Amino acid sequence: TRDFTIAIDGPAASGKSSTARAVAQELGFGYIDSGSIYRCATLLALRNNIASDIDKHWPELIDLIGKTGVEIKIQPNSNRSLSVVAAKTGRLVVPSVQILLDGEDVSNDIRTPEVNRLVAKVASDGGVRSAVLNIQRSLAANADTKATETQGNGKDPHVIPGGVVMDGRDVGTTVFPNAELKIYLDASAMARAIRRWDEMNSQLKNKQTEEAARKQENKADTSVPVEYPSVEDIARELEQRDYADINRQHSPLRIAPDAVVIDNTNLTFEQQVYSITDLARERM
Protein backbone atom coordinates (compact mmCIF):
# COMPACT_ATOMS: atom_id res chain seq x y z
CA THR A 1 0.00 0.00 0.00
CA ARG A 2 1.27 3.45 -0.83
CA ASP A 3 2.05 5.87 1.93
CA PHE A 4 -0.85 8.03 2.96
CA THR A 5 -0.73 11.83 3.24
CA ILE A 6 -3.33 13.89 5.10
CA ALA A 7 -3.35 17.64 4.45
CA ILE A 8 -5.21 19.82 6.97
CA ASP A 9 -5.61 23.46 6.00
CA GLY A 10 -7.70 26.32 7.31
CA PRO A 11 -7.69 29.78 8.86
CA ALA A 12 -5.79 30.80 12.01
CA ALA A 13 -6.81 29.14 15.29
CA SER A 14 -9.29 26.74 13.69
CA GLY A 15 -7.76 23.89 15.72
CA LYS A 16 -5.63 22.46 12.88
CA SER A 17 -2.54 21.75 14.94
CA SER A 18 -4.13 19.89 17.87
CA THR A 19 -6.45 18.02 15.49
CA ALA A 20 -3.57 17.05 13.20
CA ARG A 21 -1.50 15.81 16.16
CA ALA A 22 -4.37 13.70 17.49
CA VAL A 23 -5.09 12.28 14.01
CA ALA A 24 -1.38 11.44 13.55
CA GLN A 25 -1.21 9.72 16.93
CA GLU A 26 -4.44 7.80 16.31
CA LEU A 27 -3.25 6.49 12.92
CA GLY A 28 0.40 6.03 13.92
CA PHE A 29 1.49 8.66 11.37
CA GLY A 30 4.19 11.32 11.47
CA TYR A 31 3.19 14.95 12.00
CA ILE A 32 4.47 18.23 10.53
CA ASP A 33 3.23 21.65 11.67
CA SER A 34 4.04 23.79 8.65
CA GLY A 35 3.04 27.06 10.37
CA SER A 36 5.88 26.49 12.83
CA ILE A 37 8.39 26.55 9.95
CA TYR A 38 7.11 29.98 8.83
CA ARG A 39 7.27 31.02 12.49
CA CYS A 40 10.92 29.86 12.65
CA ALA A 41 11.67 31.91 9.52
CA THR A 42 10.06 34.92 11.26
CA LEU A 43 12.14 34.34 14.41
CA LEU A 44 15.28 34.28 12.25
CA ALA A 45 14.32 37.68 10.79
CA LEU A 46 13.73 39.13 14.29
CA ARG A 47 16.93 37.74 15.74
CA ASN A 48 19.03 38.98 12.83
CA ASN A 49 17.53 42.48 13.07
CA ILE A 50 16.14 42.49 9.55
CA ALA A 51 12.47 42.35 10.57
CA SER A 52 11.75 46.09 10.65
CA ASP A 53 12.69 46.61 6.99
CA ILE A 54 12.19 43.06 5.79
CA ASP A 55 11.31 44.18 2.24
CA LYS A 56 14.98 45.06 1.72
CA HIS A 57 16.26 41.81 3.18
CA TRP A 58 14.45 38.90 1.49
CA PRO A 59 17.61 37.35 -0.06
CA GLU A 60 19.35 37.49 3.32
CA LEU A 61 16.41 35.82 5.08
CA ILE A 62 16.10 33.12 2.39
CA ASP A 63 19.80 32.41 2.83
CA LEU A 64 19.35 32.13 6.62
CA ILE A 65 16.41 29.73 6.19
CA GLY A 66 18.49 27.52 3.91
CA LYS A 67 21.34 27.40 6.42
CA THR A 68 19.29 26.68 9.53
CA GLY A 69 18.16 23.25 10.66
CA VAL A 70 14.49 22.96 11.63
CA GLU A 71 13.30 19.89 13.56
CA ILE A 72 9.80 19.00 14.71
CA LYS A 73 9.69 16.44 17.54
CA ILE A 74 6.43 14.92 18.61
CA GLN A 75 6.14 13.81 22.26
CA PRO A 76 5.52 11.40 23.82
CA ASN A 77 7.22 9.32 21.23
CA SER A 78 5.11 6.27 21.90
CA ASN A 79 3.46 3.87 19.53
CA ARG A 80 0.40 3.69 21.70
CA SER A 81 -2.58 4.78 19.69
CA LEU A 82 -4.86 7.41 21.17
CA SER A 83 -7.85 5.12 21.24
CA VAL A 84 -6.04 3.13 23.95
CA VAL A 85 -5.73 6.27 26.03
CA ALA A 86 -9.27 7.37 25.21
CA ALA A 87 -10.76 4.05 26.28
CA LYS A 88 -9.56 4.74 29.82
CA THR A 89 -10.37 8.43 30.13
CA GLY A 90 -13.01 8.97 27.48
CA ARG A 91 -10.98 11.92 26.19
CA LEU A 92 -8.31 12.19 23.55
CA VAL A 93 -4.86 13.13 24.71
CA VAL A 94 -2.97 15.39 22.33
CA PRO A 95 0.78 14.78 22.20
CA SER A 96 2.91 17.89 22.50
CA VAL A 97 5.37 19.04 19.88
CA GLN A 98 8.82 20.55 20.27
CA ILE A 99 10.28 22.83 17.58
CA LEU A 100 14.07 22.98 17.35
CA LEU A 101 16.06 25.58 15.44
CA ASP A 102 19.66 24.41 15.02
CA GLY A 103 19.09 22.24 18.10
CA GLU A 104 17.68 25.06 20.27
CA ASP A 105 14.14 24.60 21.61
CA VAL A 106 12.19 27.60 20.23
CA SER A 107 8.69 26.21 20.88
CA ASN A 108 7.76 29.24 23.03
CA ASP A 109 9.80 31.85 21.14
CA ILE A 110 7.87 31.25 17.91
CA ARG A 111 4.49 31.97 19.55
CA THR A 112 5.09 35.51 20.83
CA PRO A 113 2.85 38.46 19.82
CA GLU A 114 5.81 39.83 17.82
CA VAL A 115 6.01 36.67 15.70
CA ASN A 116 2.19 36.58 15.38
CA ARG A 117 2.24 40.09 13.95
CA LEU A 118 5.02 39.48 11.42
CA VAL A 119 4.56 35.88 10.28
CA ALA A 120 1.95 36.44 7.53
CA LYS A 121 4.21 39.11 6.00
CA VAL A 122 7.20 36.73 6.00
CA ALA A 123 5.00 33.96 4.54
CA SER A 124 3.89 36.24 1.69
CA ASP A 125 7.29 36.24 -0.02
CA GLY A 126 7.66 33.78 -2.90
CA GLY A 127 11.34 33.09 -2.18
CA VAL A 128 10.64 32.39 1.49
CA ARG A 129 7.82 30.04 0.47
CA SER A 130 10.02 27.97 -1.83
CA ALA A 131 12.74 27.72 0.87
CA VAL A 132 10.08 26.57 3.36
CA LEU A 133 8.61 24.16 0.79
CA ASN A 134 11.96 22.33 0.63
CA ILE A 135 11.95 21.99 4.42
CA GLN A 136 8.30 20.83 4.45
CA ARG A 137 8.92 18.10 1.89
CA SER A 138 12.12 16.81 3.47
CA LEU A 139 10.63 16.82 6.99
CA ALA A 140 7.60 14.93 5.66
CA ALA A 141 9.78 12.36 3.90
CA ASN A 142 11.56 11.69 7.20
CA ALA A 143 8.42 11.76 9.38
CA ASP A 144 6.48 9.41 7.12
CA THR A 145 5.90 6.18 9.04
CA LYS A 146 6.28 2.91 7.19
CA ALA A 147 3.48 0.53 6.24
CA THR A 148 3.06 -2.47 8.52
CA GLU A 149 1.70 -5.85 7.53
CA THR A 150 -0.41 -7.53 10.15
CA GLN A 151 -0.78 -11.30 10.38
CA GLY A 152 -3.73 -12.11 8.14
CA ASN A 153 -4.98 -15.54 7.09
CA GLY A 154 -1.88 -16.01 4.98
CA LYS A 155 -3.66 -15.39 1.69
CA ASP A 156 -4.82 -11.87 2.27
CA PRO A 157 -2.49 -10.09 4.69
CA HIS A 158 -3.82 -6.79 5.97
CA VAL A 159 -1.52 -3.85 5.34
CA ILE A 160 -1.82 -0.70 7.43
CA PRO A 161 -0.26 2.15 5.43
CA GLY A 162 2.32 4.45 6.92
CA GLY A 163 1.90 8.14 6.45
CA VAL A 164 2.13 11.71 7.52
CA VAL A 165 -0.25 14.48 8.58
CA MET A 166 0.69 18.06 7.71
CA ASP A 167 -1.28 21.14 8.69
CA GLY A 168 -1.02 24.66 7.29
CA ARG A 169 -2.60 26.96 4.71
CA ASP A 170 -1.56 25.53 1.33
CA VAL A 171 -0.74 21.90 2.10
CA GLY A 172 -3.58 20.43 0.00
CA THR A 173 -3.26 23.02 -2.77
CA THR A 174 0.53 23.38 -3.17
CA VAL A 175 2.71 21.27 -0.87
CA PHE A 176 0.97 17.91 -1.41
CA PRO A 177 -1.59 18.41 -4.22
CA ASN A 178 -1.91 14.61 -4.49
CA ALA A 179 -2.60 14.02 -0.78
CA GLU A 180 -4.93 11.05 -0.25
CA LEU A 181 -7.08 13.06 2.15
CA LYS A 182 -7.51 16.84 2.29
CA ILE A 183 -9.37 18.53 5.12
CA TYR A 184 -10.31 22.20 5.30
CA LEU A 185 -10.92 22.92 8.98
CA ASP A 186 -12.97 26.00 9.75
CA ALA A 187 -14.85 27.58 12.66
CA SER A 188 -16.64 30.89 13.20
CA ALA A 189 -14.36 33.89 13.80
CA MET A 190 -15.73 34.31 17.33
CA ALA A 191 -15.26 30.63 18.23
CA ARG A 192 -11.65 30.80 17.03
CA ALA A 193 -10.91 33.99 18.97
CA ILE A 194 -12.44 32.62 22.17
CA ARG A 195 -10.45 29.38 21.88
CA ARG A 196 -7.18 31.27 21.38
CA TRP A 197 -8.07 33.54 24.32
CA ASP A 198 -8.78 30.48 26.51
CA GLU A 199 -5.44 29.00 25.51
CA MET A 200 -3.61 32.20 26.48
CA ASN A 201 -5.43 32.41 29.79
CA SER A 202 -4.51 28.87 30.79
CA GLN A 203 -0.89 29.73 29.95
CA LEU A 204 -1.23 32.80 32.18
CA LYS A 205 -2.62 30.67 35.00
CA ASN A 206 0.34 28.27 34.72
CA LYS A 207 2.69 31.22 34.87
CA GLN A 208 0.97 32.61 37.96
CA THR A 209 1.18 29.23 39.70
CA GLU A 210 4.89 29.05 38.90
CA GLU A 211 5.40 32.59 40.23
CA ALA A 212 3.53 31.83 43.44
CA ALA A 213 5.75 28.78 43.95
CA ARG A 214 8.84 30.89 43.34
CA LYS A 215 7.71 33.47 45.87
CA GLN A 216 7.11 30.76 48.48
CA GLU A 217 10.67 29.63 47.99
CA ASN A 218 11.68 33.26 48.65
CA LYS A 219 13.41 33.54 45.34
CA ALA A 220 13.59 36.93 43.70
CA ASP A 221 10.81 37.43 41.18
CA THR A 222 12.52 38.62 38.04
CA SER A 223 9.69 37.89 35.63
CA VAL A 224 8.02 40.72 33.76
CA PRO A 225 4.23 40.77 34.20
CA VAL A 226 2.52 39.77 30.96
CA GLU A 227 -0.42 41.72 29.61
CA TYR A 228 -2.93 39.48 27.93
CA PRO A 229 -5.05 40.89 25.11
CA SER A 230 -8.85 40.93 25.13
CA VAL A 231 -10.95 38.58 22.98
CA GLU A 232 -11.56 41.56 20.66
CA ASP A 233 -7.80 42.13 20.25
CA ILE A 234 -7.28 38.48 19.41
CA ALA A 235 -10.21 38.46 16.96
CA ARG A 236 -8.67 41.47 15.20
CA GLU A 237 -5.22 39.85 15.04
CA LEU A 238 -6.66 36.60 13.60
CA GLU A 239 -8.72 38.56 11.07
CA GLN A 240 -5.68 40.50 9.87
CA ARG A 241 -3.60 37.34 9.51
CA ASP A 242 -6.40 35.52 7.62
CA TYR A 243 -6.83 38.53 5.33
CA ALA A 244 -3.11 38.50 4.50
CA ASP A 245 -3.10 34.70 4.00
CA ILE A 246 -6.18 34.75 1.71
CA ASN A 247 -5.08 37.73 -0.37
CA ARG A 248 -1.39 37.07 -0.94
CA GLN A 249 -0.09 36.38 -4.44
CA HIS A 250 1.83 33.15 -3.73
CA SER A 251 -0.24 30.07 -2.77
CA PRO A 252 -2.95 31.88 -0.82
CA LEU A 253 -5.27 30.11 1.63
CA ARG A 254 -7.91 28.36 -0.53
CA ILE A 255 -10.23 25.40 -0.14
CA ALA A 256 -8.81 22.69 -2.45
CA PRO A 257 -11.57 21.49 -4.83
CA ASP A 258 -11.24 17.93 -3.49
CA ALA A 259 -11.05 18.91 0.21
CA VAL A 260 -13.60 17.83 2.79
CA VAL A 261 -14.75 20.94 4.66
CA ILE A 262 -15.30 20.46 8.40
CA ASP A 263 -16.72 23.36 10.41
CA ASN A 264 -15.97 22.52 14.02
CA THR A 265 -17.76 25.48 15.65
CA ASN A 266 -20.26 23.09 17.22
CA LEU A 267 -18.25 19.86 17.28
CA THR A 268 -16.38 18.37 20.21
CA PHE A 269 -12.68 17.76 19.71
CA GLU A 270 -13.27 14.00 19.73
CA GLN A 271 -16.01 14.28 17.08
CA GLN A 272 -13.81 16.16 14.64
CA VAL A 273 -10.75 13.93 15.18
CA TYR A 274 -12.75 10.73 14.68
CA SER A 275 -14.53 12.12 11.62
CA ILE A 276 -11.09 12.64 10.02
CA THR A 277 -9.66 9.24 11.07
CA ASP A 278 -12.86 7.55 9.77
CA LEU A 279 -12.45 9.28 6.39
CA ALA A 280 -8.78 8.25 6.28
CA ARG A 281 -9.56 4.60 7.08
CA GLU A 282 -12.26 4.50 4.38
CA ARG A 283 -9.64 5.55 1.81
CA MET A 284 -6.78 3.30 2.91
The least distance separating ligand C5P from the CB of residue 215, rounded to whole angstroms, comes to: 34
Q: Which stretch binds ligand C5P (CB under 6 A): 66-74, 82-90, 169-177, 214-222?
A: 169-177
Contact between 245 and ligand C5P per CB under 6 A: yes
Contact between 38 and ligand C5P per CB under 6 A: yes
The least distance separating ligand C5P from the CB of residue 245, rounded to whole angstroms, comes to: 5
Calpha distance 146→30 (Å, rounded): 10
**Choice between 10 and 161, CB closer to ligand C5P:** 10
> 26, 170, 186, 237: which one contacts ligand C5P (CB under 6 A)?
170
Contact between 39 and ligand C5P per CB under 6 A: yes
Contact between 118 and ligand C5P per CB under 6 A: no
Contact between 45 and ligand C5P per CB under 6 A: no
> 51, 74, 106, 123: which one contacts ligand C5P (CB under 6 A)?
123
**Choice between 110 and 161, CB closer to ligand C5P:** 110
The least distance separating ligand C5P from the CB of residue 145, rounded to whole angstroms, comes to: 21
**Choice between 19 and 161, CB closer to ligand C5P:** 19
The least distance separating ligand C5P from the CB of residue 225, rounded to whole angstroms, comes to: 26
**Binding characters for ligand C5P, 15-34, by CB under 6 A (x = yes):** -------------------x
Count of residues binding ligand C5P (CB under 6 A)? 14
SS3 of the chain: CCCEEEEEECCCCCCHHHHHHHHHHHHCCEEEEHHHHHHHHHHHHHHCCCCCCHHHCHHHHHHHHHHCCEEEEEECCCCCCHHHHHHHHCCCCCCEEEEEECCEECCCHHHCHHHHHHHHHHCCCHHHHHHHHHHHHHHHHHHCCCCEEECCCCCCCEEECCEEEEEECCHHHHHCCCCCEEEEEECCHHHHHHHHHHHHHHHHHHHHHHHHHHHHCCCCCCCCCCCCCCHHHHHHHHHHHHHHHHHCCCCCCCCCCCCEEEECCCCCHHHHHHHHHHHHHHHC
Calpha distance 153→158 (Å, rounded): 9
- How do beta strands 163-168 and 4-9 pair? parallel
Give the residue among 4, 63, 14, 9 at the shortest CA–CA distance from 34. Answer: 9
Backbone angles phi, psi at 105, to 5 degrees: -75, 110
> 119, 183, 235, 280: which one contacts ligand C5P (CB under 6 A)?
119
The least distance separating ligand C5P from the CB of residue 58, rounded to whole angstroms, comes to: 15
> 241, 256, 259, 273: which one contacts ligand C5P (CB under 6 A)?
241
The least distance separating ligand C5P from the CB of residue 216, rounded to whole angstroms, comes to: 36
Give the residue among 69, 71, 78, 2 at the shortest CA–CA distance from 33. Answer: 71
Q: Which stretch binds ligand C5P (CB under 6 A): 62-70, 119-127, 183-191, 272-280?
A: 119-127
Interface positions with ligand C5P (CB under 6 A): 12, 34-35, 38-39, 119-120, 123, 168-171, 241, 245
